[in-house]
Amino acid sequence: METEIIRIKKDKGEGLSPEDLKNIEHAGEIIKKGGLVAFPTETVYGLGGNALEPESSKKIYAAKGRPSDNPLIVHICDFKDVYEIARDVPEEAVKLAEVFWPGPLTMILKKKEIVPNETTGGLDTVAIRFPSDIVARELIRASGGFVAAPSANISGRPSPTEVKYVIEDMSGRIGAIIDGGEGEIGIESTIVDLTVNPPVVLRPGFITNEMIGSVLGEGIETDRAIIDADSGLKPKAPGMKYRHYAPKGELVIVEGKDEEVLSRINELLKEDRASGFKTGVICCDENSDRYDADAIKLSGKKGDTKEAAHRLYSILRSFDDENVEKIYSEGFDREGFGAAIMNRLLKAAGHKIINLNQVERGRK
C-alpha cells in the first residue's frame, strides 16, 4: 500500500490554512471509507480509524502488530459526543471535561452498544479522549466524530513524537500520515477510570493525580499494579502490562544523590566499555560533560520534567539508531509529572533500577 504524506503548512499556533483544511478533509474521507490515517496530537502521534467500525479497529491492530485484547482510545472533538458512546456518565466526567478537555486526559466510562467490541478489546467500558491539537480535532470532525487511535508505533516500540518515527513504523501499512510537527507533551495522555468510586488513574501523564483530585475534591490514587511492578497485580489498563518503549540495548536507571549516581554510572560505563560494549547515558544538561560514554543524551535542565517528557521517546529511539548496547539513565523525581516520566522509563528499562538510597539504608 502506498502511504500518502500530508504536510500541514501552517504553524499550528496560527490556525489552519484553507489548503490544510482541504487536505485534512481528504484524510477524513480515507477514514470514513474504512482506511487508516496517522495524525499528530498534543501527546504523541495517533493511528486513526473509524471507532464505530469493527473492520477499521481490526486493521489498526494488524498495522501495529498489537494484541487485540488491548483496547483502543476513542477520540472525539465535541464533549456532547461522550453521550453517544458512553452510558451512565457520572458528574465527575463532566467536571473533569470542563477543566481538562480538550487536552491530554482520557476517561474510562461504561460503553454503549454502538461501540464495537473490536474497539474496546471485548470490555464493556470505553476510553474517551478529546485532544487539543487542532489538526487532530479537524481530522476527527472530518472523519465523522469518533476516531479510534492508539499511538502510531509498531507494538512495543516507543510512541512516536515526531513524524519521521511514524514514517519509519507505518509507511506502506496505512493510507496516509499527516505531518503536523512535534507533539508538545511527548508522552501519552493520563488515563482515569471513572467506572469505579473513587476514580483511579490507570496510566500517569501530564494531568497529574493532584490536578484530578483538586477538581473532584478527593485524593486520587494510581492503580497499584502500575506503581508496584513486583506486586503480581494485573494492570487495569490492559496495555500497561505489555513490555513497552524498550530500546534494543539494555537500559538501567540509577537513582540516588546526584554525585553518587554520577560516580556509579561512570563505574558501570567503565566496565561495559572494557567488555567492548557501545555505551549510552541519559542525563540532565548540567551533567553533559561528566560521563564517559559513547552516546550522551540530554533530558533538559535538572528538574524540568516537561522538557524531559518531550525528549524521552526520541532519546530512546536514537539509541537504537546508534546501536547502543548498554544504557544508563539518571532517575527523575517522582513528584507531579515526574511520576509519568518514571513510569515510562521504568517500563523501558524492564524495571531494572539501582536505588543507591535504598542500598545505603540497607547497609545501616
Compare residues 54 and 303 and give the one whose CB is closer to ligand TXA.
54
Question: With binding defined as CB under 5 A, does residue 189 bind Mg ion?
Answer: no
Pairing assessment for the beta strands 250-255 and 326-330 based on DSSP bridges: parallel
DSSP state of 133: -
Compare residues 119 and 151 and give the one whose CB is closer to Mg ion.
151
DSSP state of 264: H
Instruction: Give Cα 277 distance to the centre of its chain.
Output: 30
Cell numbers for 80, please give them.
Answer: 456532547
Please give the Cα distance from 141 to 152 (Å, whole number): 19
Question: With binding defined as CB under 6 A, does residue 129 bind ligand TXA?
Answer: yes
Question: With binding defined as CB under 6 A, does residue 246 bind ligand TXA?
Answer: no
Compare residues 129 and 297 and give the one whose CB is closer to ligand TXA.
129
Question: With binding defined as CB under 6 A, does residue 353 bind ligand TXA?
Answer: no
Who's near 161: CB < 8 A, 6+ residues apart?
44, 45, 182, 183, 186, 310, 313, 314
Question: With binding defined as CB under 6 A, does residue 119 bind ligand TXA?
Answer: no
Question: With binding defined as CB under 6 A, does residue 127 bind ligand TXA?
Answer: yes
CB of 99: closest distance to ligand TXA in angstroms?
A: 18
Question: With binding defined as CB under 5 A, does residue 23 bind Mg ion?
Answer: no
Cell numbers for 109, please give them.
Answer: 466510562
Supply the angle between the helices 356-363 and 258-274 in degrees, to the nearest 10. 100
Please give the Cα distance from 355 to 344 (Å, whole number): 17
Which residues pair with residue 48 across a beta bridge?
Answer: 37
Question: With binding defined as CB under 6 A, does residue 308 bind ligand TXA?
Answer: no
Question: With binding defined as CB under 6 A, does residue 108 bind ligand TXA?
Answer: yes
Q: Which member of 28, 35, 150, 247 binds ligand TXA (CB under 6 A)?
A: 150
DSSP notation for 228-252 = -GGG-PPPSSGGGGS--S--SSEEE
Residue 44 binds which entry of ligand TXA, Mg ion, none, with Cβ cut-offs from 5 to 8 Å by kind? ligand TXA
Residue 38 binds which entry of ligand TXA, Mg ion, none, with Cβ cut-offs from 5 to 8 Å by kind? none
Residue 209 binds which entry of ligand TXA, Mg ion, none, with Cβ cut-offs from 5 to 8 Å by kind? none
- List the x/- string, 27-46, binding to ligand TXA by CB under 6 A: --------------x-xx-x
CB of 207: closest distance to Mg ion in angstroms?
A: 17
Compare residues 238 and 300 and give the one whose CB is closer to ligand TXA.
238
| Residue type (1 letter), 239 | G
Query: Which letter, b or e, does each residue of 37-50 get, where b requires 16 or more Cβ atoms within 10 Å of its Cβ?
Result: bbbbbbbbbbbbbb
Site residue total, ligand TXA (CB under 6 A): 29
Cell numbers for 215, please give them.
Answer: 477538581
Question: With binding defined as CB under 6 A, does residue 133 bind ligand TXA?
Answer: no
Please give the Cα distance from 148 to 31 (Å, whole number): 10
Question: With binding defined as CB under 6 A, does residue 204 bind ligand TXA?
Answer: no
Question: With binding defined as CB under 6 A, does residue 135 bind ligand TXA?
Answer: no
Residue 46 binds which entry of ligand TXA, Mg ion, none, with Cβ cut-offs from 5 to 8 Å by kind? ligand TXA
Tell me whether the omega of the peptide bond preceding residue 198 falls within 30 degrees of 0, making it cis.
yes
Question: With binding defined as CB under 5 A, does residue 161 bind Mg ion?
Answer: no
Are the CB atoms for 52 and 74 separated by under 8 Å?
Answer: no
Please give the Cα distance from 153 to 185 (Å, whole number): 17
CB of 338: closest distance to ligand TXA in angstroms?
A: 18
Compare residues 122 and 303 and give the one whose CB is closer to ligand TXA.
122
DSSP notation for 143-154 = TTS-EE--BSS-
| Residue type (1 letter), 361 | R
Mark the segment that binds ligand TXA (CB under 6 A) among 88-96, 122-130, 216-224, 302-310.
Answer: 122-130
| Site residues (vs ligand TXA, CB under 6 A) | 41, 43-44, 46, 70-73, 106, 108, 120, 123, 125-127, 129, 149-151, 188-189, 191, 202-203, 236-240
| Site residues (vs Mg ion, CB under 5 A) | 151
